[in-house]
């Protein structure tokens, strides 16, 4: 498959010996930057997030619950799709040794570095927030059980899971290539014909619905422990695998997203609305307002919710990815800058978020104002530190590779 076969919507731009997919780069960056929005809002939800987020600033606002739910439905699944795509690119371009070297520098090393720097500082921010509210050590931060089961990876869990997927791909891909040619040809035709269609999105949604069945709640879980549950790895592995196969069919399929993005977004939003209404029907507020929380859903409620959640996830991924392919396939300096900055911004963003939320804890300002302040401060701090301390330094080379302009 030669470069001339790529669809014009996302024609790669060759710089020296490297090919850069600007739309997919921007899409990956957007998913990371949405993490800043999600975590900035996490302290101000109507329903305390408890284990998922140790700090809650009451009374909260239901709008932030909806915002978090919407972002969570597609953000990390979309990120893993793009991660699978670029992993396949490295595998084809640089081979096994090249993939290991690249991901070792760009994923494994940052995981170790920021695990011992940014994460402890964010933990101190949570402790400060608890002190500002006159509370002791949050229960969510107290050790429970063996260290290997503790959520010590924090927001860096996705890097750890990626390393697992990279290792698995080095086993699975050679085995897949040894399958009979007739089987591989059939699978290739099926993917080519159905993958990037509404039918394909719904079929993939059914697969994701099945992976959601064993989850503790009606949606994708995450695990920040060194031994993530197999159900979580399987669920995210579906998205990573799709991204890998998408790269194999990139010449014909990537551009299709750009033509159908509105259709996918509309269907995805309708399905998300149905999903939200099912969850809203389960909302219960007991007399003790301080103890409010979502109850454990019935098995039927869980099943109905994930029937909508699975296809909503895929339709929104296809739709938003298509929007980026349609609008951002050509290089744009600002978009490229943010794409490069996004990795640093995500790796460090919990520090300004937790500390700013802590300093605002005693303020009587509306939570919407607090959210805006936290997001603005976090964006400003992470962008400024990227520009001054990272962009043209060895840290920038570590995170983004050597600059070519």
Q: Identify the residue with better confidence: 267 or 19.
A: 267
Residue 363 lies in a domain: yes
- Sign of the dihedral through C-alpha 172, 178, 183, 186: positive
Q: Identify the residue with better confidence: 132 or 255.
A: 132
Q: What pLDDT, on a 0 to 100 scale, did the predictor assign at position 11?
A: 41
Lowest mean pLDDT among 142-146, 194-198, 207-211, 280-284: 142-146
**143: pLDDT strictly greater than 80:** no
CA gap 271, 146 in Å, rounded: 40
**7: pLDDT strictly greater than 70:** no
- Nearest 5°: CA angle at 192, between 186 and 198? 120
CA gap 113, 351 in Å, rounded: 15
Tell which residue, 122, 158, 147, 151, has the closest CA to residue 51.
151
User: What are the tens digits of pLDDT across the range 59-76?
Assistant: 899 999 999 999 999 999
pLDDT band for 144, please (50, 70, 90 cuts).
low
Q: Tell me the pairing of strands 18-20 and 13-15.
A: antiparallel
Residue 50 lies in a domain: yes
Residue 185 lies in a domain: yes
Residue 101 lies in a domain: yes
Q: What pLDDT, on a 0 to 100 scale, did the predictor assign at position 140?
A: 54
Domain of residue 208 covers: 3-400
pLDDT band for 109, please (50, 70, 90 cuts).
very high
Q: Give the up-direction half-sphere exposure of residue 124: CA atoms within 13 A in the CB hemisphere.
A: 8
Q: What pLDDT, on a 0 to 100 scale, did the predictor assign at position 280?
A: 85
Q: What pLDDT, on a 0 to 100 scale, did the predictor assign at position 136?
A: 58
| Three-state secondary structure call for residue 21 | coil
CA distances (Å), 308 to each of 62, 209, 251, in order?
Answer: 21, 8, 31
83 in Cβ contact with 241 (< 8 Å)? no
User: What are the tens digits of pLDDT across the range 314-341?
Assistant: 999 999 999 999 999 889 999 999 999 9
> Which pTM does this prediction carry?
0.90
395 in Cβ contact with 389 (< 8 Å)? yes
Residue 405 lies in a domain: no
Q: Over range 171-200, report the average pLDDT.
A: 86
110 in Cβ contact with 397 (< 8 Å)? no
Find all residues with CB under 8 Å of 181, minimum gap 6, and list them.
none
Total domain count for the chain? Answer: 1
> Could you write out the three-class secondary structure of 265-314?
HHHHHHHHHHHHHHHHHCCCCCCCHHHCCCCCCCHHHHHHHHHHHHHHHH
Residue 283 lies in a domain: yes
pLDDT band for 178, please (50, 70, 90 cuts).
confident
Percent above pLDDT 70 for the chain: 86
CA gap 103, 169 in Å, rounded: 13
Q: What pLDDT, on a 0 to 100 scale, did the predictor assign at position 9?
A: 39
First and final C-alpha spacing in the chain: 28
User: What are the tens digits of pLDDT across the range 369-404?
Assistant: 999 999 999 999 999 999 999 999 999 999 987 665
Percent above pLDDT 90 for the chain: 66
Q: What pLDDT, on a 0 to 100 scale, did the predictor assign at position 111?
A: 97
Find all residues with CB under 8 Å of 202, minimum gap 6, and list them.
311, 314, 315
């Amino acid at each position: 498959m030669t470069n001339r076969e790529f669809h014009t919507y996302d024609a790669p731009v060759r710089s020296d010996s490297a090919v850069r997919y600007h739309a997919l780069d921007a899409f990956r960056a957007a998913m990371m930057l949405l993490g800043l929005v999600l975590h900035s809002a996490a302290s101000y939800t109507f329903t305390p997030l408890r284990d998922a987020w140790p700090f809650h600033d009451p009374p909260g606002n239901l709008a932030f619950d909806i915002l978090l739910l919407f972002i969570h439905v597609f953000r990390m699944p979309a990120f893993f799709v793009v991660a699978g795509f670029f992993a396949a690119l490295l595998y084809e371009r640089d081979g096994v040794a090249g993939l290991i070297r690249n991901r070792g520098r760009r994923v494994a090393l940052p995981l170790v570095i920021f695990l011992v720097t940014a994460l402890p500082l964010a933990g101190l921010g949570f402790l400060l927030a608890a002190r500002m509210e006159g509370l002791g050590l949050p229960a969510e931060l107290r050790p429970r059980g063996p260290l290997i089961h503790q959520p010590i990876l924090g927001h860096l869990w996705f890097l750890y899971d990626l390393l697992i997927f990279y290792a698995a791909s080095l086993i699975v891909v050679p085995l897949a290539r040894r399958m009979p040619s007739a089987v591989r040809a059939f699978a290739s035709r099926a993917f080519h014909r159905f993958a990037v269609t509404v039918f394909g999105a719904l079929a993939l949604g059914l697969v994701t619905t099945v992976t959601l069945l064993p989850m503790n709640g009606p949606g994708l879980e995450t695990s920040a422990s060194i031994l993530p549950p197999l159900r979580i790895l399987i669920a995210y592995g579906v998205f990573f695998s799709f991204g890998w196969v998408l790269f194999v069919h990139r010449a014909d399929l990537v551009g299709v997203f750009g033509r159908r993005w509105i259709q996918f977004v509309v269907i995805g939003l309708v399905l998300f609305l149905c999903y939200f209404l099912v969850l809203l029907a389960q909302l219960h507020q007991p007399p003790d307002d301080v103890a409010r929380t979502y109850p454990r859903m019935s098995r039927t409620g869980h099943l109905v919710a994930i029937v909508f959640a699975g296809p909503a996830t895929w339709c929104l991924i296809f739709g938003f990815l298509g929007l980026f392919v349609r609008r951002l396939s050509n290089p744009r300096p600002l978009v490229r800058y943010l794409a490069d900055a996004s990795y640093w911004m995500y790796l460090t963003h919990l520090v300004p978020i937790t500390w700013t939320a802590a300093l605002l804890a005693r303020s009587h300002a509306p939570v919407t104002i607090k959210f805006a302040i936290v997001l603005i401060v976090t964006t400003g701090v992470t962008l400024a530190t990227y520009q001054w301390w990272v962009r043209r330094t060895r840290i920038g080379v570590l995170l983004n590779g050597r600059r070519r302009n």
